[in-house]
Amino acid sequence: MYEEKCKMEAPIKVSITNEIQRQLGRILDKSKELALLSTEKLKPLYFDYPVSQVEPAKDEREFPPLFADIRAMLNGIELQIDNIGRTIENVEL
């Protein structure tokens, strides 16, 4: 009975994992699009053009592949949010 339960749960876990990765990928793509759009739309109002992207400090810890992928996507989202913030800070009204 335990083995049957494990066999039934395994595809569900993989499916959930894949869905979470797809969602994070979509959010990362949208954050990149929003960062580019905000830069382009607000460019005429810049006091000073934004500085190139600043990479967050690298964490030397090792993660299993799944968590490394999730972490990379979250870091990318954080970077894009920071870019949007810098763009907004450079706008002169």
| CA 11 – CA 6 distance, rounded (Å) | 9
Do the Cβ atoms of 73 and 22 come closer than 8 Å? no
Q: How far apart are CA 35 and CA 45, in angstroms?
A: 15
Q: pLDDT value at position 1?
A: 46
At 37 the pLDDT is 94
Report residue 6's pLDDT band, with 50, 70 and 90 as the boundaries: very low
pTM of the model: 0.70
pLDDT on residue 5: 46
